[in-house]
Amino acid sequence: MSRTENEVNHVHNNDLGNLTNLGRTSVQWLHAIGIRTPQQLAATGAVTAYHAIARRGFRVNKVLLYSLHGALLNKRWPEIGESEKLELLAELEALEGSTGR
């Protein structure tokens, strides 16, 4: 479910903090993995970004995954449907399996 730059056009500058769902802590975590702009987040994708943050040792939960995904869609994370959440989790599981977690 990687996203294109077009899907973050709702942000008119390069500030991750202006994306829906992203607060100071999540932005700091994104910076820690080298993501500094909405376009970089879109190119990386929510699942890969979440996986990288978790691998850095930050204590995360699935809400962060949904928040990152929602940020790319300009959608609050509680508005993400169950089927979409299941797709994200399946993609994460596949990624974890291919990288040895």
Which pLDDT belongs to residue 98? Answer: 84
101 vs 14: CA distance, rounded Å: 31
Query: What number of other Cβ atoms are within 10 A of residue 79's Cβ?
Result: 11
CATH of the domain at 41: 1.10.150.20
Q: Model confidence over 47-94: pLDDT tens digits? A: 999 999 999 999 999 999 999 999 999 999 999 999 999 999 999 999
Query: How many structural domains is the chain composed of?
Result: 1
Range of the domain at 70: 5-99
- Contact (CB, 8 A) for 27 and 68: no
Q: Model confidence over 8-31: pLDDT tens digits? A: 555 555 799 999 999 999 999 999
User: 24-32 and 46-55 are packed helices; what angle lies between their axes, rounded to 10 degrees?
Assistant: 80
86 vs 79: CA distance, rounded Å: 14
